[in-house]
Structure 1
Amino acid sequence: MSTPAVASPVTALIDIIDGQRWDDLKSVLARDCVIERPGSQPMAGLDRIEHFYRNERQVRHGKHVVDRVVADKEAAACWGTFRGETPDGSVIEARFADTFVLADGLIQRRTTYVHAPRH
């Protein structure tokens, strides 16, 4: 069963990413957080993750439309659709599912799964 307070680090992270408020990452990610994304090596540590979002992420802007979040005190999952634009103006649209490990109200680990249809 999910409660708003338990799901809040997940929904807050999505809002931070969509708003490109990188200074706020520390409010939801543990210092030793690990993020796993398709096609890349895991990113470990808040400094590395913040560097990725500020300097390497290939999204000019975008929006996660979350269909559902389920969470308890130790784990959470969410899924939905991401729509955005790359720096060269290409449109991105993909279904996603994220799993999270939570501790002390912070995200310890995020693993992202993506389905992007081929055109």
Structure 2
Amino acid sequence: MDRNDPESVVRRYYDLVDAERYDDLVALFAEDVRYERPGQEPIEGRDALRAFYEEDRPLDDGSHEVHDVVVDGETVAVRGAFSGRQDGERVAFGFADVHEFDGGSIACRHTFTDRDEV
């Protein structure tokens, strides 16, 4: 699989977030990325995205299991499960993410879960 096609980039994203390799992770995103999570303010720009992963993300010590990936041109939808810790407690929940690409980078990401905050 080509490391630059949208599906490969998205699959790499989950590997990098689980490995806590935030420099490599942030490089997958456009400079003006927008990350939207229901009920929370959007994260805008690479610097804010890096700060979120390094300092503000309420989830840690976890892993993603990708169940389904659907690619439609420059949009990649993912359904999966996360297990790890949130605020020191063990958690496991399903998620759905939509990644929108522009110029080979993730320009916008939407996350949906049954959790109040991720």
TM-score bracket, normalised by the shorter chain, equals: 0.7 to 0.9
Q: Where do residues 76-115 of structure 1 align in structure 2 (5 Å cutoff)?
A: 76-88=76-88, 90-115=89-114
Q: Output the amino acid matched with 2:92.
A: E
Query: What is the deviation of 1:61?
Result: 1.0
Q: Whole-Å Cα distance in 1 between the matches of residues 27 and 73 of structure 2?
A: 17
Quick check: 1:97–1:113 contact (8 Å CA) kept in 2? yes
Structure 1 stretches lacking a partner, 5+ long: none
Q: Match of 2:95, as an amino acid?
A: F
Between the aligned partners of 2:83 and 2:55, the Cα distance in structure 1 is 20
* Distance in structure 2 (CA, Å) of the matches to 1:72 and 1:8: 14
Hey, what does 1:8 align to over in structure 2? 8
Cα separation, 1, equivalents of 2:87 and 2:95: 21
**CA distance in structure 1 between the aligned counterparts of 2:73 and 2:102, rounded to whole angstroms:** 7
With structure 1 as the length reference, what TM-score do the two structures score?
0.86
- Match of 2:100, SS? strand
User: Structure 2 matches for 1:44-63, cutoff 5 A?
Assistant: 44-63=44-63
Identity %: 34
Please say if 1:28 is aligned against 2:13.
Answer: no
Give the 3-state SS of the residue equivalent to 1:60 in structure 2. Answer: strand
Contact 1:73 1:103 (8 Å CA) reproduced: no
Whole-angstrom CA distance in 2 between matches of 1:14 and 1:23:
14
Residue-by-residue CA offset, 1:27-73 (whole Å, 9 max, x unaligned): 21111001011331000000001001100111231111000111143
How many pairs align? 113
RMSD: 1.7
SS of the residue corresponding to residue 59 of structure 2 reads: coil
For structure 2, which runs of at least 5 residues remain unmatched after alignment?
none
